[in-house]
Each structure stands twice: as C-alpha cells, then as structure tokens.
Amino acid sequence: DSGVTQTPKHLITATGQRVTLRCSPRSGDLSVYWYQQSLDQGLQFLIQYYNGEERAKGNILERFSAQQFPDLHSELNLSSLELGDSALYFCASSVGQGRPTNEKLFFGSGTQLSVL
Amino acid sequence: SQKIEQNSEALNIQEGKTATLTCNYTNYSPAYLQWYRQDPGRGPVFLLLIRENEKEKRKERLKVTFDTTLKQSLFHITASQPADSATYLCALDKRGYSTLTFGKGTMLLVSP
C-alpha cells in the first residue's frame, strides 16, 4: 500500500459529461501529481501541485483542471468528456517540491475512467 | 524531439536467469533516472534512482546502470522469479523542471 488514496476506482460516464477524481496524498507529502495512462500514450504527466499551488503543467487539456486544497488532498476535474479521455488516471505524491526530481513518487491505484 | 525508448516487445525469460531491460533517451540531459515497476491495474511502484554521476546502483537482486554518453540505462534483475513478471518503466527528469517523464515500459514475463 503506497499510502496514496484515489477515489473512485472506476467511473463510467457519457460523452459531454463532467467528472471529478479525488486524491489524498501520503501523510506528510506536500506535492501531488496527476498522470494519465493509456495503452498507446503510456504514462503522461498532467499537472503538479505543491502545498496548494500549481508547480508544473504538462499535457493537460483546457477541459481539465485541478486543485489542491488546504488539507493537501487534490481533485482533478474533467469536463466535456470525449471518448478519447477514457484512460487510467493516477495520482502520485512526494515529500517535497520534486525539484530537482530526486524524489521518488508514490502512486495511488488509479481511477479507471470509461467514457461511453 | 525528446524521446524515451523502452522495448515495446515483452521480454520472456526463464526463472533463475538475469533479465536486462533497456531505456534509451534522446535530447534529454537528465540529472536523475528512476525505475518503476507496474503490475496490471495498479500504480507504478518506485524501485531505484540513479544520479548522473553514478555509474551503477544496486538493491538486492536489482542493478541499474546509467551511461550519460550512450544516453542509456540498463536495468537488471538477477535470479529472476515468476513474481518479477510486471511492466518496468524508466523515468527521467527534465533538468530544471520538477516533473518526471516516463517511458512506455517493457513487460517482463518470467516463466517457471
């Protein structure tokens, strides 16, 4: 058990809808990262938050947004969903800012999103 | 463009043999390289981190090498076991940035 909790485990929804994925980092970790994993693209970095502030942005679509709350949990919001958004979404956490990236990441078990 | 390449074909080996997985990269100058293990439907699990000034790192049956001239890392599992069957991902930092970029991974299948 990595100590990172993601909910829900599975999410099935329709195109055009909006969903929220939730992540609780390991106790004491200040950074939260969101990754998307699909068969053809592999693990793609979306966004990082450190202690409530956005730290780095990757290939995150404008339809997607995230935030980190004062209790350090994070939410990833996906809107106007398309079939291509179907993927496994992982949250990871690390102790510090991850700069430089000499910190290991602890991943949650992921949320499997299916857009029908 | 920047690329991280791992063999997309699964590596099949027999129990007891040494598995060697390759991670090649182009247009990166990573200060660190990490290896993760991922089981189906689960999140990646950190295995080893190696710094640019380290040639080799060991942890139990695992060994990682890092050749910044060849732009390559090799990941070895000695005395492999069926329980080692999983997908192994390498990840690099982008110097000056806080994020890790992952390769697509290589599946390892260890047969008894």
| Interface contact B32, partner A, CB < 8 A | yes
End-to-end CA gap in chain B: 41
C-alpha distance from A77 to closest chain B C-alpha (Å): 20
What 3-state DSSP class applies to A83? helix
pLDDT tens per residue, range B1-44 = 778 999 889 999 999 999 999 999 988 888 889 999 999 989 99
Q: How far apart are CA B107 and CA B95, in angstroms?
A: 28
Asked if A102 lies within 8 A of B46 by C-beta distance, the reply is no
Range list of β-strands (E), B1-112: 3-6, 11-14, 19-26, 32-38, 45-51, 56-59, 62-67, 72-77, 86-93, 100-102, 106-111
pLDDT at B95: 64
What 3-state DSSP class applies to B27? coil
| Interface contact A63, partner B, CB < 8 A | no
pLDDT at B30: 82
pLDDT tens per residue, range A56-90 = 898 899 999 999 999 999 999 999 999 999 999 99
Asked if A56 lies within 8 A of B93 by C-beta distance, the reply is no
pLDDT tens per residue, range B78-106 = 999 999 999 999 999 876 666 788 999 99
C-alpha distance from B24 to closest chain A C-alpha (Å): 16
